[in-house]
Amino acid sequence: MHQGRVKKTAVHKGGCDCIGFVVGVLNEVGRGDIACHDKTDYARVPNGMQLFYELRKVLQQVPDVDMRAGDIALFKFDKNPQHVGIISETDKQQTLIHCYLQARGVVEHRFDEIWQKRLVAVFRID
């Protein structure tokens, strides 16, 4: 859901987009100090460089090769950075957790070659 920030509950069907998902996770893990920088005044296809600069303001950018579970990854579509997700790990294999429009929800899958090619930058909370 574009610009959504509502968690699914027993009384609400919820809805979020990719950055809304990350903001919600940050709030859940007690990092509201970062989540409070959230903005919802972006277009359906956001200005990717603006997203990159906003992430860099509040998070530490790390080299792609140093990526680890818990990092936030920025991805491009059509050469425009416009999607984020959280890197995870299962059975010593990196995975990606993100709110994905095609799946109409939050998904976790292998961080495969397709997603590796889309990777623009990696950010760490601390």
Tell me the β-bridge partners of 109. Answer: 96
In one-letter notation, the amino acid at residue 37 is H
**116 confidence band (pLDDT: 50, 70, 90):** very high
* Among 15, 125, 117, residue whose Cα is nearest residue 59: 125
User: What pTM, to 2 d.p., does this model score?
Assistant: 0.86
Q: What is the pLDDT of residues 11-45, one digit of tens each?
A: 877 778 888 889 889 888 888 788 777 777 777 77
Question: 79 phi and psi, to 5 degrees?
Answer: 65, 10
Asked whether residue 3 carries a pLDDT value surpassing 70, the answer given is no
**What pLDDT score does 85 carry?**
96
Domains of the chain: 5-124 (3.90.1720.10)
**Six-digit token pair at 28?**
């859940």
Q: Which residues have C-beta within 8 Å of that of residue 20, sequence separation ≥ 6? A: 1, 3, 4, 5, 99
In one-letter notation, the amino acid at residue 15 is G
Asked whether residue 4 carries a pLDDT value surpassing 70, the answer given is no
Q: What is the pLDDT of residues 39-90, one digit of tens each?
A: 777 777 766 688 899 899 999 999 999 999 999 999 998 888 989 999 999 8
Average pLDDT score over residue span 81-103: 90
Helix (H) or strand (E) holding 62: strand 60-62
From CA 84, how far away is CA 19, in angstroms rounded? 6
